[in-house]
């Protein structure tokens, strides 16, 4: 079956490139989900509200 699918070099190269592109996308999503779950509560999106609540008092209006 594989010999019929990969008779031409262009099909072989296109399959490798397509597979690498798909793998990169799935791997990126998986690593990002793991990283955000592992560091929950430490990321900027989680703590941004704590730092931005009282910042109006520190501004210098001249």
pLDDT of residue 32: 97
pLDDT of residue 51: 85
CB 40 within 8 A of CB 46: yes
Tell whether pTM > 0.85. no
In Å, what is the CA distance from 51 to each residue of 36, 38, 40, 55? 19, 22, 17, 7
Domain ranges within the chain, ordered by starting residue: 1-59
CATH superfamily ID and name for 1-59: Cytochrome b-c1 complex subunit 9 (1.20.5.260)
For residue 6, the number of C-alpha atoms closer than 13 Å in the C-beta half-sphere is: 8
pLDDT of residue 27: 98
Residues of the chain with pLDDT under 50: none
pLDDT of residue 52: 85
């Amino acid at each position: 079956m594989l010999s019929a699918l990969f008779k031409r070099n262009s099909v072989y190269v296109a399959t490798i490139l397509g597979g690498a592109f798909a793998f990169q996308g799935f791997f990126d999503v998986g690593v990002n989900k793991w990283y955000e779950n592992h560091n929950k509560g430490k990321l900027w999106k989680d703590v941004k509200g704590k730092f931005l609540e009282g910042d109006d008092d520190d501004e210098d209006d001249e």
